[in-house]
Amino acid sequence: MHATDTLPVGPVRDGALDLLKWLALLCMVLDHLRYVGLSLDGLYVPGRLAFPWFCLAIAANLHRVKNASVSWRYLGWLLLFSVISEVPYRMFIDDADTLNVLPTLALGLLVARGWQQKTLFDRGLALVAVMIAGVFSTHLMFGFFGVLLPLAMLLVFSRPWYFSVLPGLVCVAANQWQVLLNSDTLVAKLGLAACLIAPLAGLFLLRHAKYVSPPAMRRWAYTLYPLHFLLLLIVRKIIV
């Protein structure tokens, strides 16, 4: 990818973006398979790709479609399924000490949108989102830096590929970096590497996989988040 390269933008359906969403969903399910009662700790590594790729999808949507009403609908669906998903999430993750991931993504959308839109109202909402992230960081999955990750992704869209080190570092900070750095296990080291390279890998996919045509991931895909918790819960009850 050269310095002059930019990601494709336009009103047409972006197959690469749909592929990124499907891969992010797959990585999330692989990560959560660690909780079904089997020894699958290695799935932690591909699991580190899920959240940054969802954040990249948010940034890509903002970059492609700058229509304010579209991003408001996007925020509404995130907030709605934040509420719907919380019970299935806590049923499956018995010792959950944070909310499900959708509130983090919703706050991240507000922050990135405020940077993009530049109106006083949008900047005010972004500031409120940052303040909420700071005060309630321990209650948010991926914490304060997780809320900043969509913005970090948005900032590197039209820049050379090596700028992806910025969201890579933000991604590491959002993923309990102290634990990853202090652990001598191979899984922790690979997990740290996955956090660092996830933004670059996602940006590379969006740039070079634009001719793929996976099934379009539309609004119905929001239901996959709470449903996958319920399905994995059934699997755990069967095998345990």
Higher pLDDT, 59 or 8: 59
Q: What is the pLDDT of residue 4?
A: 38
Question: Contact at 8 Å (CB) between 166 and 152?
Answer: yes
Q: What is the pLDDT of residue 130?
A: 98
The pLDDT of residue 2 is above 60: no
CA distance 163 to 203: 11
Q: What is the pLDDT of residues 171-221, one digit of tens each?
A: 999 998 777 777 888 998 999 999 999 999 999 999 998 788 899 998 999
Residue at 6 is within a domain: no
Q: What is the pLDDT of residue 111?
A: 97
For residue 216, give its domain range. 15-239
Residue at 1 is within a domain: no
Q: What is the pLDDT of residue 12?
A: 63
Instruction: Provide the whole-model pTM.
Output: 0.91
Q: What is the pLDDT of residues 32-81, one digit of tens each?
A: 999 998 889 999 999 999 999 999 999 999 988 776 677 788 999 999 99
Domain tally for the chain?
A: 1
| Mean pLDDT of the residues in the chain | 90
Residue at 83 is within a domain: yes
Write down the number of H helices and E strands in the chain. 11, 0
Q: What is the pLDDT of residue 137?
A: 96
Q: What is the pLDDT of residue 161?
A: 83
Residue at 147 is within a domain: yes
The 3-class SS string of the chain reads CCCCCCCCCCCCCCHHHHHHHHHHHHHHHHHHHHHCCCCCHHHHHHHCCHHHHHHHHHHHHHHHCCCHHHHHHHHHHHHHHHHHHHHHHHHHCCCCCCCCHHHHHHHHHHHHHHHHHCCHHHHHHHHHHHHHHHHCHHHCCCHHHHHHHHHHHHHCCCCCHHHHHHHHHHHHHHCCHHHHHHCCCHHHHHHHHHHHHHHHHHHHHHHHCCCCCCCCCCHHHHHHHHHHHHHHHHHHHHHC
Residue at 4 is within a domain: no
Residue at 194 is within a domain: yes
Residue at 117 is within a domain: yes
Residue at 25 is within a domain: yes
